Amino acid sequence: MNNRPVALDHPPSPADPTPPTYPPPLPGPLRSTAAPPPSRLDRLLARYTEIPPWVVVTQLFFGLGWLRAVGEKVIDPAWWNGDVIRGFVATTADLTLPWLSPLLSSFVLPLAPLVAVLVVVAQAAAGVALVSNRAVIPALAVAAALNLVFLASGAVAPSAFYLLGQGAVALWRIGRRPPTPALSRGLQAATVAAAVLAIISLPFVGTVHPAEVIHDPAIMLATLAGLVAVASELTHRALFRRGLP
């Protein structure tokens, strides 16, 4: 018997170096390649991207200040029945400018609870608008009206400083608008109104002592109104130096 191994006619081929292939996986759910929608915070921050830092800081400071004032009043029961307003008018009666007294006696005092609601609504609207950077010019107008009444009633601080800062923000924003006839008339009206306000306040100046003028509503209001008149006129000249388009 022959025990030798039998030679194979076709020796085994070397292993195929190509890896085995498998069928592709089944397709999963389709995924959108679009960017996710911006969040509310992203949209809020985007409104401030083209504003100088000093405007952002100033606007947010005053907006938060108005919202703080709202919170203070909301939690005070004496505010809603008008007692706080009546007490304020009585306390500052000696400092109130005479041209404001008829408004206080004929409207504010008889309707103190209603005035309390109107003040809170106005302060809340101004604060929300300034913080959210929407309808800023109308909000600054409402805020200026409130501060003007507070200042003329004898509350110099912080109304005088609010008027100064908010006025600067308003004039900066107005100065960026395209020149139009309506804007020209508005700036001229602001110049005249501020000048008139300064003139009617000057006769009631009680002191010019350097240590006391900061507490005198007449001289503070006359000074601020004079500054607004000058700034409004300068803004008008800068926008319309070449005349109306």
What is the average pLDDT across 203-232? 94
Mean pLDDT of 233-239: 92
- Residue 72, pLDDT > 60, answer yes
Task: Find the mean pLDDT for residues 103-124.
Answer: 96
In the predicted structure, residue 35 carries a pLDDT above the cut 80: no
Q: Quick one: pLDDT at residue 8?
A: 47
Contact criterion met (CB below 8 Å) for 87 and 155: no
**pLDDT value at 3 more than 70:** no
Asked if pLDDT for residue 44 goes beyond 70, the answer is no
Phi, psi angles (nearest 5°) of residue 108: -65, -50
Residue type, 39: S
pLDDT digits (tens, 9 = 90+) for 119-177: 999 999 999 999 999 999 999 999 999 999 999 999 998 999 999 999 999 999 998 88
Q: What is the pLDDT of residue 39?
A: 76
> 0.75 exceeded by the pTM?
yes
**pLDDT reported for residue 109:** 95
Average pLDDT of the chain, as a whole number: 87
Residue 14 has pLDDT above 70, yes or no: no
Higher pLDDT, 109 or 36: 109
Contacts of 153 (CB under 8 A, 6+ apart): 88, 89, 92, 95, 96, 97, 100, 104, 217
Please give the average per-residue pLDDT across 214-236, as a whole number: 95
**Ordered alpha helix ranges (H), 133-180:** 136-152, 159-175
Helix (H, G, I), strand (E, B) or coil at 27: coil
Choose the weakest-confidence range: 56-65, 124-133, 174-183.
Answer: 174-183
For the chain, the domains span: 51-239
Nearest one of 136, 47, 149 to 101, comparing CA atoms: 149
pLDDT bracket for residue 50 (50, 70, 90): confident
